[in-house]
Chains A and B, each alone.
Chain A
Amino acid sequence: MPDTSTLLDRPRRWDQPFGRDMDDATVDRLLQVSPFREMTPAEFPAHLPLRDILKNDTRVVHYEDNDIVVRKGDYGNSAFLVLSGKVEVLLFDVPPSALGRRERRRRGLLRSIARLWTNPNLPEVRDRDRVRATAELAEADENVHMKILVQDLPIAIDPHSIASLSEGQLFGELAALGRIPRGATIRAAGGAELLEIRWQGLRDIRSRSATLRKTVDELYRKNALSVILRSHPLFKHLKTEELAEVTREATFETYGNFEWYGNYKQLLDAGPAERLAAEPVIAREGDHPDGLILIRAGFARVSRAFGHGSRTISYLGVNQMYGLEELVHSQKTDAPAPLQATLRAVGYVDILRIPTPVVQKFVLARLPREQVLKFVSYPRQLDSHSDASRAAPARTVDAPSGRATEATPSHAAPPPAASTALDPGTLEFLVDNRFINGVATMLIDTDRCTRCDDCVRACATAHDNNPRFIRHGPIYGHHMVTNACMHCADPVCMIGCPTGAIHRSAQGPVVIDDQTCIGCQTCANSCPYGNIRMVEVRDEGGEFIVDKRRLPILKATKCDLCVDEMGGPSCVRACPHDALQRIDMKDTQTMAQWLKR
């Protein structure tokens, strides 16, 4: 008989509601507001009533005039509904300093040299006054997790470069559902009352309520879809009305677990079969293709049946396509071609499915077959005898100059030739560990690395004598994926940062603004790869800086790819043996060439 004092209720989804002040009266009020007014209780299952979703997954936030609601470039996990008042969308680029972001400038020659005598001897030394200012900022606002901690927007704004959103209008849903950066900065105009809906609630309401689904889908089609398709080389030749037809016919689907980083580590310990079983199938090998699939967010595994399992032949990221080869083959032979590989969601994936007749009408009938096939970014299975001639991509000497180069789009990597293809073991390793997320993954060739730690020392020198990575990590063959920030394509670490301290810099790398970091550990806990370290900071005298409760002040630290250094990442420059490289995992060709040197 267990001791009853140790028995606990099993934690449940809504043990921690999103808003502390959401009472029944507030929910009653919300139910009278559009679009909730148009929803019927019958649309929601008994265990997930709309009332409970509103009570637990939303909160009412009041903004003063000129308060910033969302900042362009931030990753958010909630959408907003204007309950009263007005917000303004700033249709221009607000200077980072006006949004509370510190602009990082490259060090000049003199400042670089000065490091010889200015770098502190102790680890993690900070200016005490600056740390105090950040601590006071965090303390001053009890709702630290509710608002972005920047002061009023201190710049004059041209009234013609803003758009207004008023009562009943929804915004921020694309960033929340698609985990993409906020597309614009939005501020409150004259005070506004907003309903903030976290993505879990938004997802549940959207999946059950036709009203919200219609609203979100219309917003998506209106604001994003046509822009996405127009920018894609496969569709850019279309006229406006033709593009509108493609936009109308395309469907938007989501697969997998949005919070994939939660069970990532458990899945790593599981066997290959369990891992594959946890990845939802988007399209199955052998099935008839019902359209062209375009990856909009996240990653997908492309695999083929092999023995009693599946062998990964490639992975797809944003803007890459699946099913094109089969559609081309069907068109060519006038006979249906089944799908040659299975497509699975790795983590979560947003896709666009463009129906076969639309692809046939607007793409296959208009563009030369060979040009279309250049968009197949994984080893082709049909007509493989023609691969040799076709695979001479625009980058090779045999390709007709000019025209062929233009035909190869930058974001549709040409299919790999045998010498530049990743071997199956490496592919499985990279996909299973989700290293495919990396944009600047640090790879070390252990056959060449002499363990001299010049890379670590160079990193430390560039960061006030604090190394920002550990020369250790999972190894496949003789290549190590080091514990260094990969500056992910899907940077889950950025979700939930209450101050926006962790953000993607203008140059691309994900960086942490030390001055605005309040040490809440959200990013470190979210990073699936354990590449963000919390450190206890000291003052110049070596004393730990503590808060009023005598607890040490923490700061999140990680690799910043030496954005403010002359000459790029110090680690790469410091390696004497060509053993270390930062690699964009989307560029499989470059990676394969480096791995097979």
Chain B
Amino acid sequence: MKSSTTAATAAAGNRFGFFAMRRLRLAVATALVATAACLWLRARHLALRPDAFDSGWVLGVLVLLLAAYNLRKKLTFLPLGRSSTWLQLHIYLALLSVIAFAAHTHLRLPRGPLEIGLACLYLGVAGSGIAGLVLTRVLPVCLSTRGEEVIFERIPQFRRKLRILAEIAVLRSVTEADQTTLSDFYTRRLARFFAEPRNFWLHLFQSQRPRRRLLAELADLDRYLDPAEREIAADLRDLVEVKDDLDYHHALQATLKGWLFVHLPLTYGLLLVGAVHVVVVHAFRGGA
């Protein structure tokens, strides 16, 4: 029976794709839980109970569970389940937390510096999380389709190597052709290009304009070059393409690593200000 069920799930998974099926299952589960939670809060509200405390505690617990994922990532040696399972929980609990946030605030604008700060931090964490999710789903596919796979930490090393190769080629053009056409162009247009990562934002938005412009300028030089220089120019064009791909990988990989530097500090801030908020509201709850 179990194998039959597994086979049926596998067959369905094959039709829709494993990830689509998982997304569907978890989205339905999240919707059910959210509906149940909303009905419960509504019932509390109708019973004249202080539902702000209920929704607040639900939100607080959800935020703590969401923050626990970072702890799980650090404790890799403990059998706490697969990180991918935790990430799925993280994503869908985060969705629930957005609903809990809406229920808690009744979508009203916050008042007072503490509430404003807390709301901004929550929105910052949620926003950076959603942005991170989109980035982690979109950018890896882009990385797979362009340039050679390269480990981020090794990029400076490859960049240096490309710069040396380009400089050797340019020096060769001076000694072989006794002309400075290519070397002048290198100094003017390529030296900086090869020296550091370039066009970060343009790469992030998948623009190839700088690459095409540089290649076009190099091609325009051809009419002023002798055959030996043209060969060197062709080598330079290849190096420009490789360097541009390397910059592309640098930009995308840096973004994939970098968004967490926004998400995590905001999370720590949220936990801290959230704790203060809990203390304050309980201190001043009165007889509620």
Which residues of A does B touch, CB under 8 Å?
107, 109, 112-113, 115, 395-397, 401, 405, 419-420, 446-452, 454, 457-458, 461-462, 470-472, 475, 478, 480, 565-567, 570, 572-579, 593, 596-597
Contact A475 to B136, CB < 8 A, known contacts A457-B76, A577-B84, A593-B14: no
| A113–B78 CA distance with the chains assembled, in angstroms | 8
Cβ of A575 and Cβ of B83 under 8 Å apart? yes
New A-B contacts (12) at CB < 8 Å, excluding given A447-B140, A567-B78, A577-B140: A113-B78, A396-B11, A446-B144, A447-B144, A450-B256, A452-B256, A458-B77, A570-B77, A573-B82, A573-B83, A579-B140, A597-B17
Cβ of A597 and Cβ of B19 under 8 Å apart? yes
Residue interface mask B104-126, A partner, CB < 8 A = 1: 00000000000000000000000
Q: List 30 A-B contacts (CB under 8 A).
A: A107-B77, A109-B78, A112-B78, A396-B11, A397-B8, A405-B3, A419-B14, A420-B14, A446-B144, A448-B140, A450-B256, A451-B151, A452-B257, A454-B76, A454-B83, A458-B76, A458-B77, A462-B77, A472-B151, A566-B79, A572-B82, A573-B76, A574-B76, A574-B83, A575-B83, A576-B73, A576-B86, A577-B140, A579-B140, A596-B14
Residue from A115, A567, A576, A596 with most neighbouring chain B CB atoms (10 Å): A576
CB-CB contacts below 8 Å: B221-256 with A: 253, 256
Q: Is B149 an interface residue (CB 8 A)?
A: yes
Contact A471 to B76, CB < 8 A, known contacts A575-B83, A577-B136: no
Q: Is B175 an interface residue (CB 8 A)?
A: no
A566 partner residues in chain B, CB cutoff 8 A: 77-79
Contact A565 to B83, CB < 8 A, known contacts A405-B3, A452-B256: no
B79 partner residues in chain A, CB cutoff 8 A: 566-567, 573
Least CB distance, A565 to chain B, in whole angstroms = 7
Which residues of B does A touch, CB under 8 Å?
3-4, 7-8, 10-11, 13-14, 17-19, 73, 76-79, 81-84, 86-87, 136, 139-141, 143-144, 149, 151-152, 253, 256-257
A109 partner residues in chain B, CB cutoff 8 A: 78
A461 partner residues in chain B, CB cutoff 8 A: 76-77
Contact A447 to B141, CB < 8 A, known contacts A395-B3, A462-B77, A593-B14: yes
A572 partner residues in chain B, CB cutoff 8 A: 82
Contact A462 to B76, CB < 8 A, known contacts A451-B256, A573-B82: yes
B7 partner residues in chain A, CB cutoff 8 A: 395-397
Cβ of A578 and Cβ of B84 under 8 Å apart? yes
Return the chain B residue nearest A470 by Cβ: B151
Cβ of A471 and Cβ of B151 under 8 Å apart? yes
B86 partner residues in chain A, CB cutoff 8 A: 576
Cβ of B87 and Cβ of A576 under 8 Å apart? yes
Return the chain B residue nearest A393 by Cβ: B7
Least CB distance, B203 to chain A, in whole angstroms = 15
Selected from A451, A454, A567, A576, the residue in CB contact (under 8 A) with B143 is A451
Least CB distance, A79 to chain B, in whole angstroms = 44
- SS of A interface (majority): loop
| A56–B41 CA distance with the chains assembled, in angstroms | 87
Cβ of A397 and Cβ of B140 under 8 Å apart? no
B84 partner residues in chain A, CB cutoff 8 A: 575-578
A451 partner residues in chain B, CB cutoff 8 A: 140, 143, 151-152, 253, 256-257
| A323–B76 CA distance with the chains assembled, in angstroms | 48
| A577–B149 CA distance with the chains assembled, in angstroms | 18
| A1–B39 CA distance with the chains assembled, in angstroms | 96
Closest 10 CB pairs of A and B: A567-B79, A458-B76, A597-B18, A576-B87, A446-B144, A566-B79, A576-B83, A478-B144, A578-B84, A397-B4
B11 partner residues in chain A, CB cutoff 8 A: 396-397
A112 partner residues in chain B, CB cutoff 8 A: 77-78
B257 partner residues in chain A, CB cutoff 8 A: 451-452
Least CB distance, B219 to chain A, in whole angstroms = 31
Return the chain A residue nearest B252 by Cβ: A451
A448 partner residues in chain B, CB cutoff 8 A: 140
B141 partner residues in chain A, CB cutoff 8 A: 447, 478
A570 partner residues in chain B, CB cutoff 8 A: 76-77
Residue from A420, A566, A574 with most neighbouring chain B CB atoms (10 Å): A574
Cβ of B77 and Cβ of A115 under 8 Å apart? yes
| A419–B13 CA distance with the chains assembled, in angstroms | 11
Contact A475 to B149, CB < 8 A, known contacts A397-B7, A597-B19: yes
Return the chain A residue nearest B82 by Cβ: A573
A574 partner residues in chain B, CB cutoff 8 A: 73, 76, 83
Least CB distance, B7 to chain A, in whole angstroms = 5
Return the chain B residue nearest A457 by Cβ: B76
Least CB distance, A483 to chain B, in whole angstroms = 11
Least CB distance, A446 to chain B, in whole angstroms = 4
Least CB distance, A111 to chain B, in whole angstroms = 9
A447 partner residues in chain B, CB cutoff 8 A: 140-141, 144
Least CB distance, A158 to chain B, in whole angstroms = 40
| A573–B79 CA distance with the chains assembled, in angstroms | 9
| A566–B78 CA distance with the chains assembled, in angstroms | 7
| A197–B24 CA distance with the chains assembled, in angstroms | 63
Least CB distance, B33 to chain A, in whole angstroms = 22
Cβ of A480 and Cβ of B149 under 8 Å apart? yes
Least CB distance, A574 to chain B, in whole angstroms = 5
B3 partner residues in chain A, CB cutoff 8 A: 395, 405
Return the chain A residue nearest B15 by Cβ: A419
| A180–B25 CA distance with the chains assembled, in angstroms | 47
| A252–B123 CA distance with the chains assembled, in angstroms | 71
Least CB distance, A410 to chain B, in whole angstroms = 14
A419 partner residues in chain B, CB cutoff 8 A: 14
Cβ of B73 and Cβ of A454 under 8 Å apart? yes
B139 partner residues in chain A, CB cutoff 8 A: 450
Least CB distance, B1 to chain A, in whole angstroms = 8
Least CB distance, B169 to chain A, in whole angstroms = 26
| A401–B3 CA distance with the chains assembled, in angstroms | 10
| A396–B7 CA distance with the chains assembled, in angstroms | 5
A578 partner residues in chain B, CB cutoff 8 A: 19, 84
Return the chain B residue nearest A112 by Cβ: B77
Return the chain A residue nearest B152 by Cβ: A451
Cβ of B19 and Cβ of A472 under 8 Å apart? no
Residue from B7, B10, B76, B152 with most neighbouring chain A CB atoms (10 Å): B76
Least CB distance, B84 to chain A, in whole angstroms = 5
A478 partner residues in chain B, CB cutoff 8 A: 141, 144
| A397–B3 CA distance with the chains assembled, in angstroms | 8
Cβ of A450 and Cβ of B77 under 8 Å apart? no
Selected from A405, A450, A458, the residue in CB contact (under 8 A) with B136 is A450
B136 partner residues in chain A, CB cutoff 8 A: 450, 577
B4 partner residues in chain A, CB cutoff 8 A: 397, 401
A596 partner residues in chain B, CB cutoff 8 A: 14
Selected from B73, B149, B256, the residue in CB contact (under 8 A) with A446 is B149
A597 partner residues in chain B, CB cutoff 8 A: 13, 17-19
Contact A446 to B143, CB < 8 A, known contacts A573-B83, A597-B18: yes
| A224–B279 CA distance with the chains assembled, in angstroms | 76
| A109–B79 CA distance with the chains assembled, in angstroms | 9
Cβ of A472 and Cβ of B144 under 8 Å apart? no
| A449–B86 CA distance with the chains assembled, in angstroms | 16
